[in-house]
Amino acid sequence: MKTEYAVALGMWCFALGAVAVQSLHAQAKAPAFGIFEVVVSNQEAYAKEFVPPVVKTVSDFGGKLLAVGGKTASFRGEPPAPRVVLAQWDSMDKAEAWWNSQATKDAYAIGDKYATFRIFAVEGKAQ
């Protein structure tokens, strides 16, 4: 009889754990990904004057750079700009806070002298 109680208790604990995990997953926010297409007109000034402050703003707002430049491949449609950057934040709210910050605006005031940008964010899938 004790074995039956142990098995029943174990199954009940397993079910309770499964419900808790599902609840935590439902509460998780979806990450946000920033996609930056960049055409640089003055590489030296861009790298020296713009890159350090803008990288700092991304980091200061909890973001991380996942891809910075590098080789791209176009599979369909118009090819991307010569330089593509991919950043990630924990949520769209954090990405928007980064974009709306004075530090980011100040960095892009510099960057606009040396490059043109197409920047957008997309909400990822909550894990």
Question: Could you tell me if 72 and 84 are in contact, meaning their C-beta atoms sit under 8 angstroms apart?
Answer: yes
Q: Tell me, what's the pLDDT at 1?
A: 52
- The pTM score is 0.75
Please state, in angstroms and rounded to a whole number, the distance separating the CA atoms of residues 122 and 117: 16
Q: How confident is the model at residue 28 (pLDDT cuts 50, 70, 90)?
A: confident
Question: Quick count: other Cβ atoms within 10 Å of Cβ 84?
Answer: 17
Domain containing 13: what range? 1-28
- Do 62 and 117 belong together in one domain? yes
- Do 90 and 107 belong together in one domain? yes
- Do 6 and 43 belong together in one domain? no
Q: How many domains does the chain have?
A: 2
What average pLDDT does the structure give for the chain?
86
- Do 81 and 105 belong together in one domain? yes
pLDDT tens digits for range 57-111: 999 999 999 999 989 999 999 999 999 999 999 999 999 999 999 999 999 999 9
Please state, in angstroms and rounded to a whole number, the distance separating the CA atoms of residues 89 and 58: 9
